Amino acid sequence: MEFMTSDFTAELVGTMILVLLGNGVVAGVLLRRSKSENAGWIVVTTGWALGVSMGIYVTGWISGAHLNPAVTVAFVAVGDLSPGLAFSYISGQVLGAALGSLLVFLAYQPHWRETDDADAKLSCFCTMPAIRRPFFNFLTEVIGTAMLLLGVLGIADRHNGLTGGMAPLAVGLLVLGIGLSLGGPTGYAINPARDFVPRVMHALLPVPGKRDADWAYSWIPIAGPLLGGILGAVFYKLFVAHLNAMGG
């Protein structure tokens, strides 16, 4: 029980850091009269990448820092994590995402009322597609999260020797690459906790002048990453098994 409790706490803290720094940079870029207003997509993707790296640095030595239900479910699918432990991980991720969202709301408190754009306010909590085409939006999330799991498993592979301080930085660079290359169509949720939980918090918190939480879209950043994560992890395991069979 102590082991599961430490994993729960680690996932909570790591996901809180990820959402605080990730949605924090979005708020800084989109909300009126922020010093980083209109700083652009490079700043957003860099902020998210650093948020991921910092979350892993702080908690990776405890739980492995999944910080993402898509990662946890994928690990269960390929037999690298037990379902019971996965429940502890995901519970921590959900609560951590809620706390991170609350901290962003508080940090930018004077700016919500200064901002008239309700879509921009929602985007500080969750993703919105650039062009609303549900099938292709779903496919984008599948591809992006499959790439995430491919990269994470590759970074963790013993052949690369990326241990200690280098691995979190490498995962952050992976997330930066996904954001720059595949983030344009949907905002690259690639993480159900990072999207759905802040979406709920947007609905619950007293954000001045807010719109609805776009529930009609909300299933895409859940289902797409979950499927994509499983596909990416399974592909990597089959790829490695194939290379091993060939003597690689």
CATH classification at residue 50: 1.20.1080.10
Which residues, at least 6 apart from 130, have a Cβ–Cβ distance to it below 8 Å? Answer: 184, 185, 186, 187
- Give CA–CA dist 19/53, Å, rounded: 12
pLDDT score of 2: 46
- Give CA–CA dist 192/200, Å, rounded: 12
Could you tell me which of 16, 42, 44 has the C-alpha nearest to residue 30? 44
pLDDT score of 157: 85
pLDDT tens across 55-83, in order?
999 999 999 999 999 999 999 999 999 99
- For residue 160, what are its two tokens? 């690369």
98, 104 contact by CB (below 8 A): no
Question: Mean pLDDT throughout 27-40?
Answer: 98
What is the domain extent for residue 74? 2-245
| pTM (2 d.p.) | 0.95
pLDDT score of 246: 76
Residue 3 clears pLDDT 70, i.e. is over it: no
Q: How many domains does the chain have?
A: 1
57, 70 contact by CB (below 8 A): no
Angle at 82 between CA 76 and CA 87, to 5 degrees: 85
Question: Mean pLDDT throughout 175-199?
Answer: 98
Q: What is the mean pLDDT of the chain?
A: 95
pLDDT tens across 95-110, in order?
999 999 999 999 999 9
- Give CA–CA dist 95/161, Å, rounded: 33
